Amino acid sequence: MKKKILSVLMAGALCSTLLAGCGGTKEAPTGNSSAADNAATAADDNTLTVWCWDPAFNINAMNEAAKVYQKDHPDFKLNVVETPWPDLQTKINTAGAAGDLSTLPDVFLMQDNAFWKNQISFPEVFADLSATKAFDFTQFAPGKLAYSTVNNVNYGVPFDNGTVIAAYRTDILEQAGYTVADLTDIDWNRYMEIGKDVLAKTGKPLLSSMANESDIIMIMLQSTGASLFDDKGDPSIVGNETLKKALETYKELKESGVMVLVNDWDQYITTMNAESVAGTINGCWIMGSIRAAEDQSGKWAVTNLPKLAGIGEQSNYSNNGGSSWAVNADSKKKDLAVDFLAKTFAGSTELYDNILPSGALATWLPAGGTSAYSEKVEFFGGQEVYSLLTDFASKTPKNNTGVYYYEARDAVAAAATNILAGADVDSELKTVEDTVNFAMGK
């Protein structure tokens, strides 16, 4: 079974880059992240080696964390090695399969949706952070914490906030006679009513999304507290009424013209920056791309997403993307790694204030109470966006990602494409479950 999961892990690394957290698509040479590199710092008891990706986001956050920690630990040093997510996944696969964890760093970043798969496949790699008593995990958003919690044991320190936002062009809404308040705390039925009216009056769809992707469907699913897998990790697809309703809603969005599908990521971003749509729904990290159009400052506003009425938890909150920090269980400096993470990413409002300008929004709830998080953001019409998103994260339902999450979401994406072409929803759900069972070797 481990060989089966290993092959799936390697495939998943290639198809999940877009969900690597903010800036996850930026890849660069890995540098010297081999056992020799680890050995170079192993002799220094005050130096930790960290693997993560994206210099402007994750690496910047780690370096800022080092500055905070150094105030009370002046001899502390951090060796951050830029390692793109697919490379990091491959290195974990290799080390875990060989049973030689000396090639791994002291701390590494893990995609949230891949956490369960990796921990279950290679449990010897991940330090049990619950046992250390160094963390108060109740201070993290429950929906975020669930990604790195396996069998009620915490193996990760939650980092970036992937809570979902609905962002709208207030000037376009105004042309159609609406405000953001009209799109707050609503369900998808009302969303489509407003969307059709906005389209008729302005010619602008409310939403764009990439074809052959399932992000919107997965966002809907988690907002209800539903999953593609049950508590035992088995597929929960055939007979999943929430998933069926999400797929039907997705089809209606497309057929009504309220949602437009594009072919790739660049085209998706262009729909917002070129003003061809009136809004978007995605993880809050999308705000960085929205703000790239500086001439649109003051014309955007943020609120929560529509809920699926009449099913599940019916919340207006969900998550898309994000990552968490893990500690190598075999690290000779595990105690230092734990203390460092506990006093920074799980204990410092100063750190989260410092990394806020880079777009790194906390899921550590105390960070949301600082003056920096109460700052009014001019681009979004003077809204206190950061504190708003921290509140959203605290209300996001948990979901079970399971070991075969990426295989399942890819199968759902294929089903959605077929459904748009006229295929029967129930038949497609059967195909999705069969596909996942095959991947699982059942």
Q: Are 360 and 372 in contact (CB under 8 A)?
A: no
Q: What was the pLDDT predicted at 30? A: 35
Q: Which ranges in 258-309 belong to alpha helices (H)?
A: 265-273, 287-290
Segments in the chain below pLDDT 50? 1-36, 40
Question: Nearest CA to 23 among 63, 55, 51?
Answer: 55
Give the alpha-carbon dihedral of 133, 139, 145, 149, to 10 degrees.
20
Q: Which residues are 111's β-sheet partners? A: 323
End-to-end C-alpha distance for the chain, whole angstroms: 11
Q: Is the dihedral of CA 125, 129, 134, 135 positive or negative?
A: positive
**Against a cut of 0.75, is the pTM above it?**
yes
List, edge to edge, every strand of the sheet that includes 157-158: 77-82, 47-52, 107-111, 323-327, 157-158
Strands (E) in 230-361, as ranges, are 259-262, 279-283, 300-303, 323-327
* Rounded (10°) angle between helices 112-121 and 85-98: 10
CA count, 13 A, side-chain hemisphere, 269: 11
What is the rounded distance in angstroms from the CA atom of residue 247 to the CA atom of residue 211? 14
pLDDT recorded at residue 24: 38
pLDDT for res 28: 34
Q: Which residues contact 3 (CB under 8 A, 6 or more apart)?
A: none
- For residue 41, what pLDDT is reported? 57
pLDDT of residue 359: 76
Helix (H, G, I), strand (E, B) or coil at 281: strand
Q: What is the pLDDT of residues 15-47, one digit of tens each?
A: 444 444 443 333 333 334 444 455 545 557 899
**Residue-level pLDDT at 37:** 53
For residue 317, give the DSSP letter. -
Quote the pLDDT of residue 419.
98
